[in-house]
Amino acid sequence: MSFLPLAHSAGARDDLPMTDTTTRVTILIFDGLTALDAIGPYDVLRHVPGWEVTFVGKEAGEVQTEDGGLRLVADVGLDAAPAADILLVPGGSGTRPLTRDAEVLDWVRATDQGTRRTTSVCTGALVLGAAGLLEGRQATTYWQNLEDLPEFGAEPVTSRWVEDGKYLTAAGVSAGIDMALHLVAQEVAPEMSQAVQLGIEYDPSPPFDTGSPAKAPAALVEAVRAVSAQGDATLS
């Protein structure tokens, strides 16, 4: 049940912008995704009146996050996925096989043809890139994967999110929330985005200012790189 009154009473209000049509949001989920990449934007987008969110997997049913500790459920498989106005591809270690999965890439390309917005969080950008959607465009992704974007013809940009045409790519994990709020502001109105932000009490105040490699101590950056490299070796 939504705790945000917008979801139920917004239609009766005259102080917030409303839309008369349904916006269909599709979030691709898969084994090895990072949970917050999908759930962060979901918890923003689900509160917009008239927006319907569908989780799509290769097949309907459960998928496991990258550490196997959390499971999400795909409402439908690729073959039964509804048309999407907004497509979101999250990241995680599971994107590596997806960049070589012809079935998924064909579906992403076909879905993109009908979207108003095609978006990604973290390494989900690499899936968009592998589908050929970021050729000649600026994009961002998780900070340790920025150097992978040129492989797909994209220009890497260090930013919380990057907008190029209808394509909107977010940096790592928590950046998906910021990107989703920006998306709501662009698609509906800034006032709607502000209301959703207040409704989910998104007012980040982390105890440390180390959320990007530009701010973190060099030794910490190298330590995190080393841990990530170990994980990559395990996946190879």
Q: Which residues are known to be catalytic?
A: 122
Q: Cα–Cα distance between 171 and 143 in angstroms, integer?
A: 7
- Ranges assigned E (strand) in the chain: 23-28, 51-57, 61-64, 71-74, 76-77, 86-89, 117-121, 138-139, 155-156, 161-164, 167-170
170 within 8 A of 161, measured Cβ to Cβ:
yes
Q: Cα–Cα distance between 145 and 129 in angstroms, integer?
A: 12
